[in-house]
Chains A and B, each alone.
Chain A
Amino acid sequence: MAVKTYLEAIREGMRDEMRRDDRVMIFGEDVGFKGGVFGVTEGLQREFGEWRVMDSPLAESCIVGVCIGAAFNGMRPIAEIQFQDFILPGVDQIVSEAAKIRYRSNDDWNMPLVIRAPFGGGVHGALYHSQSIEAMFCGVPGLRVVVPSNPYDAKGMLVAAIRDPDPVLYFEHKKAYRSIRGEVPDHEYTVPLDRVRVVREGRDIVIFTYGLMVDTAVQAAERLAPDGFSVSVVDLRSLRPLDRQGIVESARRCGKVLIAQEANLAVSVSSEVSAIVAEECFEYLDAPVMRIGGPEVPAMPFAKPLEDAYLVDVDKLESKLRRLAEY
């Protein structure tokens, strides 16, 4: 099996689906001739033409709304929002329209739409190119919100998202684009959009996390191994809906739960996972649920010392993990 980057896997997922299904199209800023600011759609306009890989005006409501319209009329659009930070002008179209189309029409219409956007920091992107604002969408029924953490899932989940009959927000960690590599099959496959994946099996503690933090969590877990602590790492993959059963199984087995994320903690994915664990695993817990994430500041600053102070790295995660292990 070929080893590919996270970015190549995403591109391959789109390319394969566009070859298989001529209803699939891509619409976003700079996605055409330039191939996107990160190069994710590079070469696709050359293969599929200007109408199926189309440069949009610099207007996010237009990007999402045009894709909604195209989906009404039989297409399977993939909208690319250049940075998750810039999705906000499109939120009315996502939350008031896309999320409610099936429900409000009593199942007369549905909205097969994928919205891709890079998120996350650690690339000197400052306040407006580093955010992790996925939680904003996780409370919205009618949407799926997914975050792949590795190339295999990136391709398989994107293919599944394109084929899904409802709107899927597909968030890509921008620092993972070229830093995360892995085996990706050439053949057609999908990965379910609503299941956790146990990345590392352990008995004493489970870390629930998603995105690039999965990699950080595995490194931190390995640091505890020599001291006899067996740490499980579970990649949530789907943030809405959360895989309740998958979360409960690991939490009950391990008895100690740490939830790690890049976003700030208040009213976040970690809050919802904590609630599930509190509701379903009370008698199985050996310690209070612990969480680690970004600080309660508006967004990630630019200067290196400030950025480092914001981010959860392996050291910070290890230290939190030890506190939980010793509880």
Chain B
Amino acid sequence: MVVANRAARAIAGIDADTLRAMYRHMLRSRMLDERIWLLNRQGLVRFWVSGMGQEAIQVALGMHVRPGHDWVAPYYRDLALTLVLGMTPRDQLLAAMAKADDPNTGGRQMPAHFGCRRLNIITTGSVVATQFIHAAGIALASKIRGEDAVTVVTTGEGATSEGDFHEALNFAATHSLAVVFVVEDNGLAISVPTSKQMPTPNVSDRATGYGIPGVVVDGTDPVASYLVCGEAVARARAGKGPTLIDAKVPRLTSHSSDDDQRRYRTAEALETDRTHDCLGRFAARLGEQGMLSARDEEAMRAKLLAEMDVATAQAEAASDPDPESVLLHVLGDA
């Protein structure tokens, strides 16, 4: 690691504190993700679908969201995004272990089906792409009431083949709604590569058809991602309508804990993805700029490790859902 003589104050106008905070968010999500994989292999978490490798774009996006004011319609790989917005490792470990106090679903859904009313993170199911239209509807309500809230919605590129994706873009663009569409494009719909999903290499090419800006960004570069997301959020907040962001990311793990990507991906492809890991590269970049020393980074890791240990112990000790509660919350009281 090259260490600069003098610490830079900013990269591309983003100040050092913000950059360090972003790194911490990314690292925290990665360490939580790794912890959940470990617990999965130990049999304490029955299923996991990971966000590893996608932390940079998620953190960059989350930094521009005003939690509880803006709205978020996430998808299942958005672990880092939920942490930036204010959910905690304890929250997500409770969900991973399907405990009664899981704030996302109370242990009713598979892990990584996020939702938190307090933070305006809508509840999400397993059917992909439905959330796009919800985002458009949320933004419509904000517009009707004259509020400046922005709605961000995320997805993998696989879900962009669904009709709901197009219906949402069409509607949000037609009425200049304040929606930011972010595609975390890891190039694989489970096992099917982009070349067999769509005729163009970039999801963002489709923006042209809806008369809105479409932007490709390196989703492993937190600085570029921060700038692109910032512009899209500002544009939406100013009432100028939606943006479609295509953030290219690697997929560092199999689709899920029930999948083995070595069965359908070459060793070279897996190695290429590993070299595109956002985390180590960002640490090196901050180091080069004198913004984060190796010692700082070690201290950060140690603190986060302690947080993970405490959260894991708390989640393990938490109660399972009461079997009788299976009947609750079908309909409310009129």
Complex Cα distance A61/B331, Å? 23
Mind listing 16 A-B residue pairs with CB under 8 Å?
A: A25-B144, A61-B133, A61-B164, A68-B137, A69-B137, A69-B140, A70-B141, A72-B71, A75-B141, A77-B137, A102-B332, A103-B329, A106-B106, A107-B332, A108-B117, A109-B122
Q: Which residue of A lies closest to B139 (CB)?
A: A69
The count of residues in chain B whose C-beta lies closer than 8 Å to any C-beta of chain A is 46
Q: With a CB–CB cut-off of 8 A, which chain B residues contact A75?
A: 141, 144
Of the candidates B113, B122, B163, the one whose C-beta lies within 8 Å of that of A72 is B122
What residues make up the interface of B, taking CB atoms closer than 8 Å to A?
A: 71, 102-109, 113, 115-117, 122-123, 125, 127, 130, 132-145, 163-164, 167-168, 170-171, 174, 328-334
B144 to A65, Cβ gap below 8 A?
no
| B226 smallest CB distance to A (angstroms) | 26
Complex Cα distance A302/B217, Å? 55
**A193 within 8 Å of B (CB atoms):** yes
Q: With a CB–CB cut-off of 8 A, which chain A residues contact B125?
A: 96-97, 100, 104
Of the candidates A56, A67, A105, A142, the one whose C-beta lies within 8 Å of that of B331 is A142
Complex Cα distance A141/B127, Å? 18
A108 to B103, Cβ gap below 8 A?
yes
Q: With a CB–CB cut-off of 8 A, which chain A residues contact B142?
A: 73
Q: With a CB–CB cut-off of 8 A, which chain B residues contact A314?
A: none
B123 to A57, Cβ gap below 8 A?
no
A12-27 interface (Cβ within 8 A of B): 25
Q: With a CB–CB cut-off of 8 A, which chain A residues contact B138?
A: 69-70, 72-73
What residues make up the interface of A, taking CB atoms closer than 8 Å to B?
A: 25, 51-52, 56-57, 59, 61-62, 64-75, 77, 89, 92-93, 96-97, 100-110, 141-142, 144, 160, 163-166, 193
Complex Cα distance A144/B332, Å? 11
Complex Cα distance A83/B135, Å? 25
| B49 smallest CB distance to A (angstroms) | 16
Q: Which residue of B lies closest to A25 (CB)?
A: B144
B133 to A93, Cβ gap below 8 A?
yes
Q: With a CB–CB cut-off of 8 A, which chain B residues contact A77?
A: 137
A165 to B103, Cβ gap below 8 A?
no
Given A69-B133, A101-B123, A108-B103: A163 touches B174 (CB 8 Å cut-off)? no
B141 to A69, Cβ gap below 8 A?
yes
Q: With a CB–CB cut-off of 8 A, which chain B residues contact A193?
A: 334
Q: With a CB–CB cut-off of 8 A, which chain A residues contact B108?
A: 103-104, 106
Q: With a CB–CB cut-off of 8 A, which chain A residues contact B106?
A: 105-107
Q: Which residue of A lies closest to B166 (CB)?
A: A59
B329 to A69, Cβ gap below 8 A?
no
| B14 smallest CB distance to A (angstroms) | 31
Given A92-B130, A104-B123, A108-B123: A72 touches B137 (CB 8 Å cut-off)? yes
A51 to B143, Cβ gap below 8 A?
yes
Complex Cα distance A59/B174, Å? 14
Complex Cα distance A97/B125, Å? 7
Q: Which residue of B lies closest to A112 (CB)?
A: B332
Q: With a CB–CB cut-off of 8 A, which chain A residues contact B144?
A: 25, 51-52, 70, 75
Of the candidates B109, B123, B134, the one whose C-beta lies within 8 Å of that of A65 is B134
A92 to B143, Cβ gap below 8 A?
no
Given A74-B141, A96-B127, A165-B332: A59 touches B167 (CB 8 Å cut-off)? yes
Q: With a CB–CB cut-off of 8 A, which chain A residues contact B174?
A: 57
B330 to A142, Cβ gap below 8 A?
yes
